[in-house]
């Protein structure tokens, strides 16, 4: 342990309880380490895992989230959400050796002595761990959105520490909302592409090659908005909560459905999945039966030819 090392501690404190507790500790002149800094938030429920991850990347030796005791939250359940997020992140960071640098504490407005004790105890623990190894790492570029930034920072940590991510999935009590993956039922999917066209995060992909329509998805970017569930006419897709660290960091593409394509009877090009054509033929659609197995381009040509023939007869 380096006795000259003074850890830099960052504490996200709830405005109503923990921050007031810190104020009480100061007014009461409790001895506390000089190198901790407080960020006051209206509720610890506002503290995203990304805030903690970013704090570590920017050089904080340890990060504390301090909120109201369970049952005392001014916003009902913000402290419980914060606890869940901290638990998720600590478990995720176990592979990196950074897990012990993050903690969640409960402190009420009148617990100045408790706040001082917890800060001192945590600082001493970090002093034994030594300086944050992330301080010297190159800082990643921010992403286009929160999910991409979270990805960039996790990748920077694993690469910077020369670590290969191992398979890890959070336990049921560690998983937080916002992470999930679409699951397809190949017996129900007809390959209409509604999920692909409406996914706001471009999680779902659709590709036609060699007479096959392939539907796949990126596990890493699903935000569980469930738009795919809402637009699917056959209830062929559902979103399941979950997180796979290895798939997340490697941007693994998961193939879900492969469907044979039907050729246009005029040009011979593949244009529609067989299950979708069967479904359409079984429904009452406002299209002549002889056009159902004709691709859109050929339909346009046929319509143009009929129009030209009609206008020619009018002359």
Predicted local confidence at residue 273, as pLDDT:
97
Label residue 221 by pLDDT band (50, 70, 90).
Answer: confident
User: Residue 147 pLDDT > 80, yes or no?
Assistant: yes
Sign of CA dihedral 179, 258, 277, 301: positive
* DSSP result, the chain: --TT----EEEEEETTTHHHHHHHHHHTT----TTEEEEEES-GGG--HHHHHHHHHTT-SEEEEEEPPTT--TTSSHHHHHHHHHHHHHHHGGGGT-GGGEEEEE--TT-HHHHHHHHHHHHHHHHHH-S-TTTTSPPPPP-SSHHHHHHHHHHHHHHHTT-PPPP----TTT--TT-EEEEE-TTT-----HHHHH-TT--EEEEEETTEEEEEEESTT-----HHHHH-TT--EEEEE---HHHHHHT-EEEEEEEEEEEPTTT--EEEEHHHHHHHHTS--SS-GGGTTS-HHHHHHHHHHHHHHHHHHH-
**Domain 180-306 maps to which CATH number in 2.60.120.260, 3.30.70.20, 3.40.630.30, 3.10.350.10?**
3.30.70.20
Mean pLDDT, residues 56-84 taken together: 97
Q: What is the tens place of the pLDDT at every residue in 226-251?
A: 999 999 999 999 999 999 999 999 99
CA distance between the termini of the chain? 99
Statement: 9-160 belongs to CATH 3.40.50: yes
pTM score: 0.85
Question: What is the spatial distance between Cα 58 and Cα 101, in angstroms, rounded to a whole number?
Answer: 14
Predicted local confidence at residue 284, as pLDDT:
78
What is the distance, to the nearest Å, from the Cα of residue 206 to the centroid of all Cα atoms in its chain? 21
Predicted local confidence at residue 314, as pLDDT:
53
User: Residue 311 pLDDT > 90, yes or no?
Assistant: no
Label residue 310 by pLDDT band (50, 70, 90).
Answer: confident
Other beta carbons within 10 Å of 185: 14
Question: So where are the chain's domains?
Answer: 9-160, 180-306
Label residue 4 by pLDDT band (50, 70, 90).
Answer: confident
Label residue 291 by pLDDT band (50, 70, 90).
Answer: confident
**Six-digit token pair at 192?**
């209409």
Q: What is the tens place of the pLDDT at every residue in 50-60?
A: 999 999 999 99
Predicted local confidence at residue 282, as pLDDT:
86
Label residue 182 by pLDDT band (50, 70, 90).
Answer: very high
Predicted local confidence at residue 93, as pLDDT:
97
User: Residue 38 pLDDT > 80, yes or no?
Assistant: yes
């Amino acid at each position: 342990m380096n006795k000259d090392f003074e850890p830099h501690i960052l504490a996200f404190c709830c405005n109503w309880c923990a921050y007031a507790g810190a104020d009480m500790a100061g007014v009461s002149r409790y001895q506390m380490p000089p190198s901790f800094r407080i960020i006051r938030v209206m509720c610890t429920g506002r503290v995203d895992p990304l805030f903690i991850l970013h704090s570590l990347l920017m050089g904080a030796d340890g990060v504390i989230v301090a909120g109201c005791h369970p049952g005392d939250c001014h916003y009902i359940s913000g402290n419980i959400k914060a606890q869940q997020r901290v638990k998720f992140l600590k478990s995720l960071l176990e592979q990196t050796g950074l897990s012990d640098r993050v903690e969640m504490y409960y402190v009420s407005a009148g617990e100045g002595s408790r706040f001082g004790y917890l800060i001192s105890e945590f600082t001493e623990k970090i002093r034994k761990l030594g300086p944050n190894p992330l301080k010297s790492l190159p800082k990643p570029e921010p992403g286009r959105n929160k999910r991409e930034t979270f990805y960039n920072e996790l990748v920077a940590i694993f690469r910077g520490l020369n670590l290969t991510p191992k398979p890890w999935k959070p336990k049921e009590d560690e998983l937080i909302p916002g992470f999930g993956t679409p699951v397809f039922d190949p017996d129900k999917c007809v390959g209409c592409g509604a999920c692909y066209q409406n996914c706001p995060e471009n999680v779902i992909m659709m590709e036609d090659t060699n007479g096959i329509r392939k539907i796949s998805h990126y596990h890493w970017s699903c935000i569980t908005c469930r738009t795919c569930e809402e637009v699917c006419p056959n209830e062929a897709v559902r979103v399941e909560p979950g997180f796979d660290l290895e798939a997340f960091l490697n941007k693994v593409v998961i193939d879900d459905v492969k469907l044979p394509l039907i050729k246009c009877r005029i040009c011979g090009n593949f244009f529609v999945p067989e299950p979708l054509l069967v479904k359409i033929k079984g429904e009452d659609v406002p299209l002549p039966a002889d056009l159902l197995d004709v691709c859109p381009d050929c339909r346009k040509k046929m319509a143009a030819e009929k129009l030209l023939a009609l206008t020619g007869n009018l002359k």
